[in-house]
Structure 1
Amino acid sequence: MDFRKFLIVWAGQLLSMVGSGLTGFALGVHAYVRTGMATHAALVTLSSFLPSILLRPIGGILADRFDRRLMMIIGDIGSAAGVAFILIFMTAGEPGLWPVYAGATVSSVFVGIQSPAYKASATDLLTGEQYSKGSGLVQLAESARFLLSPFLAGWMLHQFGIATVLAIDIATYMTAVLTVFLIRKRMKPARAADEGGRWLAELRDGWQAVTVNRGVFLLILMISLVTLFLGFLETLIGPMVLSFSDARTLGTIQTLCALGMLASSLLLGIFSVGRRYADILAAGLFIAGIAFSLIGTTTNVYFITASGFLFLAAMPFVNMSCDVMIRSNIPNEIQGRAWGIIGILSQLGFIAAYATAGPLADYVFNPLLEDGGPLAPTVGRLIGTGPGRGIGFMFVICGLLTAASALVLSRIRSIRALSANVASGPGAENGRAGEPA
């Protein structure tokens, strides 16, 4: 029965994620068309991303103090209000971009409240045996956002304009709120709200929950490293492809690659994969690393598409394994705070990538592989020279480092111990999560 309740909440969040993807795509295009500068589109992305990451530890405390249903409702309503703010000013004819930045920031703040509660609610609604399926379905929703939202947003912008896109996003948030209302189960840890103590103390509890177990902490550091490389790919795949092709080709490549994540997430949502999560993690990460490298070796769009498909098909297995091993080794009563800390630590890689990818490509790697560049006679003979080939070289290096990380990870006993500790619920036997691995 609780799995059916999880499916109801998940369906609402699926619609909300697709709606958020519509808005993210549309606002980025809007900012670029208005100014002709990629910087403004990047600022939209930063406004939509950074506040939610920084505030997730606070959202985690709230998720452990109060009913997680309430936190999800507040988060979705607040996010909708941020989008509505943008819509109001656009409808009024505001020529500047400040309402976009402000509204995106407000929406992102409330995502920081909603996300830890949603993450922790899965533990309330699922049994230990259902964690991998639940994780697969969550990733299915995320992959649907990348698969559906760009095409839908592009079509809607052409047919109806950005106001319609924003209005639809608001409607998806309200649908998500309705699905949470339908769950008539109070999702709150046994600990009462007035027992929480000081907020700084609870932040420390969340930090200790993810650092006292050496395996959990090392796994989170590994996730942050993966998000760094993924951030490079997300930021630079467009410039690399556009250096030898066009936007239509880029969109087709991204959609076909996203099918890999969709297919794997769907498989994980339907089938159980056993308990060898550490082995699944290492294998998935190794395959993803090799595929990442292959993306950078050529300008052949078919080879890039196949490699990207393989890369994204491997990532749900990596994410699912990390999710299950962490969730099963942290007690339920502190999962909200723990996921808040995990959220910010694991996303540091994205922040670093967004800040450094452009300068590294423009001022370091691309000049190395220009015609006549320092590496043109050596590396250039293997992957080519000219515009965008430096980015390809970055991808090769990042992919090889990812594959090497998988090999190292497979040898770390404390991470393998996390897989052995996976049982019927979080913090198996109520004590393991607090013991150093």
Structure 2
Amino acid sequence: MRVFNLIWAGQGVSLIGSAMTTFGIGVWVFLDTGSPTYFATLILAASLPALLVLPVAGALVDRWDRRRVMLLSDTGAALAPAGVVLLHTTGTLQLWHIYVLVGLGAIFKAFQWPAFSALVPQLVAKDDLGKANGRVSLIEAAGQVFGALLGGGLYALVGLRGLLVIDLLTLAAALGTLLYSFRWLPTEPRHPSTDPTPVSHRDELLEGWRFIRRRPGLLGLLLFFAANNLVMEMAIVLVPPLVLSTHTPADLGIVNAIGWTGMTIVSLLISTTRGPQRLIRAILTVATCHAVLVLAMGLEQSVWMLAAGMFGILGGYAVTNAATSTLWQLKTPQDKQGRVFAIRRMVAWSAEPLAYGLAGPVAQLFGTPIAQNLGLGQGGGIAVVFLLAGPALLLVITATYLRPRVRHVERELPDAVALPVPQT
């Protein structure tokens, strides 16, 4: 795993820099405008372009040299901080500049994830996939923890421009490790496609979805995550207002720090072992624990209960991320992984903006009247959403478990074997 570890370390450093930039730009936008709407628009600009371009990115990842795709992605990701530094230095930075540059950076990052995910099974042995994916979850969690801590501590000292310069240095470190490893990285999939039939660009874009649709077990798993993510994100996005409705901003910092620490610790444990071996069982068990924790957070809103809940939820995500990545890497042929992984990520990401849009209105228009009838105090409307989300998650888990194709997908679907394409 030497080559993987080298690239992994470079990407980890870059993730910390990116998290610092995300923190700094968010603070700058809110302090400059004082508007939550502008802040929410910034989040949308950082996510929607990537969501829309993912199918194209996946198809191109399978067609192009994945080493060069990662180089292109890391280089393009530097455009956003470099552009903001230039405009900020010249005193011409405006809000719309940030939206455009952040959206452009998100497009380049949409290429990075499927390319890196497809490279992992080419760099490590099958038995080490769980360990490798655990390390990927580790740098994602550590990036959030250290990015937020360093961003919050350094913003007052070096300002937005200083954070952006640090981000550019971390991107240079990621590019350096990638260039150093270039000669050891495979130029083509380990199992290239043997189908000589030419494929149109349109069919190539749709191939990821067709691959999943022809495998009921994987399709059922994808639908499970779509429903599970929708309900979970509706609850998680309301954690800050739930904390702030009865506690202080300092308490919110404690809840966030403990939550991301949970993900970091669990990811570290997985990264030093082979990870979960019964993948579907691990995924459904974690989802059940999430449902129980969401219910507990709705019943009891003390700081330590909320912190313990986020510790368990984010720690559980570390297990789910590692198990899910390993499963899809094992069941998807190398030459199709870019397209399939892009569709998988697009479905997962698509639940987030929908959940963000529904959570507030559901809490205010539906949860608040129920809370008033039950005599719940401040923040009761948000607590009702948590109390409804728990049973909803259990229903999703039960419906998934009752589908044998999903429950037995690990043994029923061969590892990395492409099924014949039906003739139409």
- TM bracket (short chain): over 0.9
Q: Which of 22, 25, 44 is matched with 1:24 structurally?
A: 22
Whether the aligned pair in 2 keeps the contact of 1:26 and 1:153 (CA below 8 Å) is: yes
Between the aligned partners of 1:187 and 1:267, the Cα distance in structure 2 is 32
Shift of 1:274: 5.2
Between the aligned partners of 2:311 and 2:250, the Cα distance in structure 1 is 18
Aligned position for 1:291: 293
Between the aligned partners of 1:201 and 1:431, the Cα distance in structure 2 is 16
Alignment map for 1:193-208 (pairs within 5 Å)? 197-208=199-210
Structure 1, residues 122-180: CA drift from partner, whole Å, max 9, x if none?
12112221111111111111111222221111111111101111111122222112221
1:389 aligns with 2:385: no
Matched pairs, number:
417
Between the aligned partners of 1:211 and 1:179, the Cα distance in structure 2 is 37
Change beyond 3 A, Cα 1:418–1:325: farther
Shift of 1:41: 0.9
Shift of 1:196: 6.5
Alignment map for 1:258-269 (pairs within 5 Å)? 258-269=260-271
Q: Which of 396, 401, 406 is matched with 2:392 structurally?
A: 401
Shift of 1:411: 3.0
Between the aligned partners of 1:153 and 1:322, the Cα distance in structure 2 is 31
Between the aligned partners of 1:221 and 1:83, the Cα distance in structure 2 is 36
1:144 aligns with 2:142: yes
Between the aligned partners of 1:24 and 1:135, the Cα distance in structure 2 is 24
Structure 1, residues 87-115: CA drift from partner, whole Å, max 9, x if none?
21122223531111111011001011212
Between the aligned partners of 1:120 and 1:433, the Cα distance in structure 2 is 21
Calculate the TM-score normalised by the size of structure 2. 0.93
Spell out structure 1 runs of 4+ moving beyond 3 A. Answer: 194-197, 431-435
Aligned position for 1:349: 351
Change beyond 3 A, Cα 1:198–1:106: same
Unaligned runs of 5+ in 2: none
Between the aligned partners of 2:331 and 2:390, the Cα distance in structure 1 is 29
Whether the aligned pair in 2 keeps the contact of 1:282 and 1:407 (CA below 8 Å) is: no
Structure 1, residues 365-418: CA drift from partner, whole Å, max 9, x if none?
23432xxx3x32xxx4xxx322x2211211222123223323333332111222
Alignment map for 1:68-79 (pairs within 5 Å)? 68-79=66-77
Between the aligned partners of 1:295 and 1:12, the Cα distance in structure 2 is 37
Aligned position for 1:248: 250
3-state SS of 2:237 partner: helix
Between the aligned partners of 2:140 and 2:275, the Cα distance in structure 1 is 20
RMSD: 2.1
Between the aligned partners of 1:307 and 1:216, the Cα distance in structure 2 is 29
The aligned amino acid for 1:116 is P
Shift of 1:233: 3.4
Alignment map for 1:165-244 (pairs within 5 Å)? 165-183=163-181, 184=183, 185-189=185-189, 190-191=192-193, 197-244=199-246
Between the aligned partners of 1:179 and 1:106, the Cα distance in structure 2 is 24
Between the aligned partners of 1:274 and 1:147, the Cα distance in structure 2 is 24
3-state SS of 1:280 partner: helix
Moved more, 269-278 or 283-292: 269-278
Q: Which of 256, 260, 278 is matched with 2:280 structurally?
A: 278
Shift of 1:78: 0.6
Aligned position for 2:304: 302
Aligned position for 2:107: 109
Change beyond 3 A, Cα 1:335–1:196: farther
Percent identity among equivalent residues? 26
